[in-house]
């Protein structure tokens, strides 16, 4: 499968998806750490892809997204942005609203 197809599939299959360095429990950079903390504070499950484990995605995603840096938050198939935007939205209460609305649209099997 082409890397771009893999990225499109991940974005399509995961309504809330964070491309990051490391994992939510063990982030490998400060920006990924701040982004996951903001997301976890929203109280909904989200998927993540560790770009350090996926160098092909790390190379291709910035071109596909037209966004040069990581982390990248994708919600409902749309790029929301990186760490600064995530934190700004969180501080204004917009992130929580977006995450809750999106999670409500896609009830998980766990519920």
Which residues are part of a known binding site for glutathione?
21, 58, 70, 83-84
The answer to whether 75 and 105 have CB atoms below 8 angstroms apart is: no
Rounded distance, CA 11 to CA 34, Å?
21
Which residues are part of a known binding site for [2Fe-2S] cluster?
29
Q: Where are the alpha helices (DSSP H) in 3-105?
A: 3-13, 30-41, 55-65, 83-91, 94-105
Which residues are part of a known binding site?
21, 29, 58, 70, 83-84
Rounded distance, CA 8 to CA 23, Å?
20
- Closest-CA residue to 65 (of 2, 4, 24): 4
- CA angle 76-9-74, nearest 5°? 30
């Amino acid at each position: 499968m082409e890397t771009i197809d893999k990225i499109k599939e991940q974005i399509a299959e995961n309504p809330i998806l964070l491309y990051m360095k490391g994992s939510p429990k063990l982030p490998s950079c400060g920006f990924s750490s701040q982004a996951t903390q903001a997301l976890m504070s929203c109280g909904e499950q989200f998927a993540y892809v560790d770009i350090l484990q996926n160098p092909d995605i790390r190379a291709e995603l910035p071109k596909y997204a037209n966004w040069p840096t990581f982390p990248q938050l994708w919600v409902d198939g749309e790029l929301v942005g990186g760490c600064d935007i995530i934190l700004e939205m969180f501080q204004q209460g917009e992130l929580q609203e977006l995450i809750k609305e999106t999670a409500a649209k896609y009830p998980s099997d766990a519920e």
